[in-house]
Amino acid sequence: MARKLLSPALMMQRNPTNNLVDRRSRGVPSAGTARDTRNSLLAKKAALEFMASERLDAAGRLAAWIAHQINNPLGAISGNAQLLARRLQRDIGDPEALGAYLSYLEAVQNQTERCARITAEALNFTQIGEPDPRRLSVPDVVSDAVELVRYGHPECCVNLSAPAASKCLETRADREWLTRAVFEVLANAVQASDFAVATSDKPGSGPVEIAVGVERKPRRPSEIRIGVSDSGPGIPEDVLPRIFDPFFSTKDDARGLGLTLALDMMLRMNGRVAVERTDETGSVVAVYIPAWGENER
């Protein structure tokens, strides 16, 4: 399971904070005003999620086309490199010259395999299938995601704060999808915290906090919140609107699909992903999923 979830195929609208309920409103509006405001927010959220879904579909189709077009020449390059290596081993008698030629071919093969992995990630992004929702305990899923992150980042410091498993912390979701979504958000937080440590004189990895709880609001379905707080430098203002866009990343070695896939999975399970805070002291990104019994409403 760890290998499957950690394979490199690991979403939010243009303004990722638009799906948050406005907590900065001042005063207490009348019942009619509150209802109109709530309906307006819900309509806006639905429209933004629709646009996000459309962008994901378009990116998926493009990724599938590119992967198909690239895989054929990659196969030819790899096959010919292997044939050339065998021919050189047969025809070249000078061990030093043979070694030099084979090292060049090995470099070609390595870069070919790298391109193949990238196209495989793109295909995995477009072919995630459909969720298989079951009743499950969210704290158990979060614990699995934490273990997966520790498996890939053994030096990371992740502090999990979750109440004991109970019915109020149960949901109806695809276990693998929810684990993957939490893993992606958590892995991003670990990378941000590690970056902060690498650019400072602090030893070890920066702490990442993950908390699980239930959020209940008047006239709204109850949600289970999985909040992930990092100790990184925060998300730059010009980057924030794009962090859930497909293939966007500020890191040279990243594919920019992890958070995109996380948001897509959560939206398809009636959940969401929200950036709740970001500044120079770190960021808070939360995964929300309807509590058990609320999914069907």
Ordered by where they begin, the domains of the chain are 25-127 (1.10.287), 132-297 (3.30.565.10)
CB atoms within 10 A of CB 38: 15
Q: Which amino acid is at 257?
A: L
pLDDT of the residue at 227: 93
Report residue 273 as tokens: 């992903």
Burial 102-115 (b: 16+ CB within 10 A, else e): eeeeeeeeeebeee
Residue with tokens 């929810």: 178
Strand 170-173, strand 207-215: pairing: unpaired
Q: Which amino acid is at 91?
A: D
Report residue 288 as tokens: 């929300």
297 residues of the chain, pLDDT tens digit each: 444 443 433 333 333 333 323 323 333 344 455 555 556 655 655 565 556 556 666 666 676 777 777 888 888 898 899 999 999 999 888 889 889 999 999 999 888 888 887 777 666 666 667 889 999 999 999 999 999 888 877 777 888 887 766 778 999 999 999 999 999 999 888 888 775 545 555 544 578 899 999 888 777 788 999 999 998 888 888 888 888 877 667 666 656 677 888 888 899 899 999 888 888 888 999 999 999 876 554
Q: Which amino acid is at 113?
A: E
